[in-house]
Amino acid sequence: AQSVTQLGSHVSVSEGALVLLRCNYSSSVPPYLFWYVQYPNQGLQLLLKYTTGATLVKGINGFEAEFKKSETSFHLTKPSAHMSDAAEYFCAVSFSGGYQKVTFGTGTKLQVIP
């Protein structure tokens, strides 16, 4: 079965500092990997996704993530945090083939300190 582990339910960074949100997955077949962001009282918005090809994926709002098969990781980074980045972030995994049945991580709440 596929699973996702997000290390750290809460992460605090200073404005302008590097953002690093960790995600490790478990999958016996090549995964598709996603990062979503959720602002209070809103649904989820896709930040970026890895399906095939280039392992460094660039997304919206300056975020990027790198798929590392050897480490089974898909960490999310942003060079410089903005106050508007404060939100909850979810890593998710699904399998190639078949249809939507995405498994989400437990989420990481990002706090940006001015």
Q: Which residues of this protein are in contact with another protein, per CB under 8 A?
A: 32, 36, 41-46, 49, 51, 90, 94-107
Q: Which is nearer to another protein, 17 or 59 (CB)?
A: 59
Tell me the closest approach of the beta carbon of residue 28 to another protein, in angstroms.
15
Q: Which is nearer to another protein, 3 or 80 (CB)?
A: 3
Tell me the closest approach of the beta carbon of residue 29 to another protein, in angstroms.
11
Tell me the closest approach of the beta carbon of residue 22 to another protein, in angstroms.
16
Would you list the DSSP string of 24-89?
Answer: EEE-SS-EEEEEEEE-TTS-EEEEEEE-SS-SEEE-GGG-EEEEETTTTEEEEEESS--GGG-EEE
